[in-house]
Structure 1
Amino acid sequence: MRVSRKEGQLIQRAIDQWQADGMLSAAQARELNNSVQVHVLDWRRVARYALWVSIACTLVAITAALADEWLMTLLERVFSASPWVKCAAFTVIAAVLYNTGLRRKRRLPGRKFTNEAIFFFGVVATAAAIGFLGEAMSTGSDHFSLLLLLAAILYGLLGLWFPSTLVWVFSLLSLGSWFGAETGYLSGWGAYYLGMNLPLRFVFFGLLLLTVGSWLFTRWRDHRAFLGPTKAIGLLYLFVALWIMSIFGNYGDIENWERAGHLELLHWSVLFGLAAVASIYHGLRYDDGMTRGFGLTFLFINLYTRFFEYFWDETHKALFFGILAVSFWYLGSRAEKIWQLEAFSHLGADSEKPDRSGK
């Protein structure tokens, strides 16, 4: 069994404790120790971080190039072509990147992170192509949400075809952007649409995405890998929207919100808390780490937001941050204890498994 250094230290302490308690003989302890291989460096994590840094450096390089006067002059000459030409150029670039990533994925399926990085640059090129398409077809209206819908459809189809969960995530992000922009356009860019401000609309959007995505990908077994990202984006939309609602309520302007009292916003805080508790219950009931994690995270966000809301003005800042420090210390110590208990329970479960060799 290959484990990280921290996991190896924990396993070693567990084996030593079991041997000291008489649960293991010296020979059994030695056999268990020999079965554990500690790898000093997690190359999978290194690959992921290196590719993230590569993408970030590419974006920084592009930004630096745009800030350079000589390069800007050169780019202006290159991009002096019509929007149709630029759209076609980026379409070709995107197609080449997608084709390269797809062929490489079929040839080297184990190189997941580098393959997804190529798809990411294809996503960027596609966004540029859609942007120039919008510029070429612009009629002067503010209905740019149609371009976001086009991006969502393209990314969705490509993500399902490759398949690529990264491209699919960009489809869901584009879909959320389209929803916000489209409802804003239909409302005349007012604060309300069907009596709901933007965060409240995203509460229902997140619920819909979560429900439809869970129903679809639990039945579409060939694309079961898309269930996790879809749930994560749906939960993110839902809980971030509920968090904003717990602060601002269903108010559309800052003046009405400032006149509102704490009691007028209390029911949104309660709703936020109930949603977090429901998510925790679902995670515990169905052993779903994602819903449990989202529920716990946003439950604490809700509690700390209310703490800031009710006690920031009335409490001395030294006492205020002292209480925060103690609460976070307690939370961290309890989390550490729970983590150790879970790790020991997993080790105990592994030790109780029958030996398949027949010994």
Structure 2
Amino acid sequence: MKLNIDRHEQEVIETAINHWQKENLIDLETAQQLRTSYEVKGFDWRRLAQYSFWIALSCIVLAFLSLFIDKEILAMLETLYETPNIIISIICAALAAFFYYAGYYNKKKYPEKQLSNESLIVLGVFATATSIGYLGKIVDKVSGLYSLLFFCSILIYTILAIKLSSKTIWIFMLIALGIWFASETAYHSNWGFKFWGMNYPLRFTLFGAVLTAFAFSLHKQWKIIQPFQPLSYAIGILYLFISLWLLSIFGNYSDLDKWATVKQYHILYWGILSTLVSLLFAWYGLKKKDAIAREFGITFLLINLYTRFFEYLWDNVNRAIFFSLLALSFWLIGRKAEKIWSGSFLKK
């Protein structure tokens, strides 16, 4: 049976075979056998299926949003305005249960249909969020129950992710965890922008650091959630780096008017911290061959450097010089990346 590959993979394999043959690592006969051991597939149906399901889910969201634009539908909704929020919440909860069951049933009966099964589970996640959202409309925002609802969604998503072995639900659980953290700290600060002297970016920097540390050290010790460790690790780092990047721009200010009067170099230390953390993760990822730490570290190192580039040069350098320096920097990065890629490819 021949290996079924796409055209990009064919180019890589052909380059490798030609290199091995040129270096006398394989003879002509072996090279021919390798070339006849695979065939190029005519069309990537899996990718088409993936994009189709993404578009389908997007269309569902757009269809829902369009309800609030269409006049006739708005008129119909106005007649249902008196429907109690608790009834809508129960209906959405029932829909969520149906979608979860359908996704679980299809996953057992048709395990090869991964994308359609995950799409059903995503619809269940949206229905769950809507149900909890309508419960939130019943609860007074100034009470502690408001953030407790988000905590309940975390428990629901965690249980469902484990029972259904769904990484998709686990991702939404981690997102709900961040929302709960934001609402809980906001409640204890009387819904202000600062909690214990920290604005949202600084709070989420600590939140991301704790989540990353947990995923890195303790996550693997809990067998029941061990399969989700790479996701927790990646999203923890994402929380950390995005928060650090925002902190490097806005500092620990909660008032935009005050921030606008401050020169950017007054909060340069946050930018230095963000850059150092990016360097640390990139170094660790390269040394330990940790792909997640390496990719995030290098990516956010570049984002931080170019953010500082725009902050300090945009208003102080001629536009022609500015864009020339920008072009030169990207050309140097591209050349260096090409050299690294070529060297690592030849070593394989």
TM over 0.5: yes
CA contact (8 A) 1:79 1:86 kept: no
Partner of residue 141, structure 1: 142
Partner of residue 150, structure 1: 152
Match of 2:262 among 240, 260, 263: 260
Q: Check 1:258–1:242 CA distance in 2 against 1; reply closer, same or farther (3 A cut).
A: same
Paired positions, count: 345
Match of 2:287 among 258, 269, 285: 285
Note the residue ranges of structure 1 that are not aligned, 5 or more in a row.
347-359
CA contact (8 A) 2:4 2:41 kept: yes
CA contact (8 A) 2:157 2:173 kept: yes
Q: Pairwise mapping of residues 96-111 of structure 1 onto structure 2 (< 5 A)? A: 96-111=98-113
Q: Check 1:308–1:142 CA distance in 2 against 1; reply closer, same or farther (3 A cut).
A: farther
Q: Distance in 1 between matches of 2:250 and 2:83?
A: 46
Q: Which of 1-10 and 173-182 deviates more? A: 1-10
Match of 1:71 among 65, 73, 78: 73
Partner of residue 273, structure 2: 271
Q: Pairwise mapping of residues 1-359 of structure 1 onto structure 2 (< 5 A)? A: 1-78=3-80, 80-136=82-138, 138-139=139-140, 141=142, 144-346=146-348
Q: Which of 159-168 and 69-78 deviates more? A: 69-78
Partner of residue 354, structure 1: none
Q: Check 1:13–1:163 CA distance in 2 against 1; reply closer, same or farther (3 A cut).
A: closer
Please tell me the residue identity of whatever aligns with 1:246. S
The 3-state SS of whatever aligns with 1:66 is coil
Q: Distance in 2 between matches of 1:169 and 1:38?
A: 34
Please tell me the residue identity of whatever aligns with 1:286. K
Q: RMSD of the TM alignment (CA)?
A: 2.0
Please tell me the residue identity of whatever aligns with 2:13. I
Q: Distance in 2 between matches of 1:255 and 1:69?
A: 39
Q: Distance in 1 between matches of 2:195 and 2:340?
A: 45
Q: Distance in 1 between matches of 2:339 and 2:147?
A: 49
CA contact (8 A) 1:218 1:227 kept: yes
Q: Distance in 1 between matches of 2:143 and 2:242?
A: 27
The 3-state SS of whatever aligns with 1:238 is helix
Q: Distance in 2 between matches of 1:119 and 1:152?
A: 16
Q: Distance in 1 between matches of 2:155 and 2:118?
A: 19
The 3-state SS of whatever aligns with 2:36 is helix
Shift of 1:232: 1.6
Identity rate of aligned residues, in percent?
A: 37
Please tell me the residue identity of whatever aligns with 1:318. A
Q: Check 1:59–1:19 CA distance in 2 against 1; reply closer, same or farther (3 A cut).
A: same
The 3-state SS of whatever aligns with 2:306 is helix
Shift of 1:123: 0.7
Note the residue ranges of structure 2 that are not aligned, 5 or more in a row.
none
Q: Which of 89-98 and 256-265 deviates more? A: 256-265
CA contact (8 A) 1:276 1:295 kept: yes
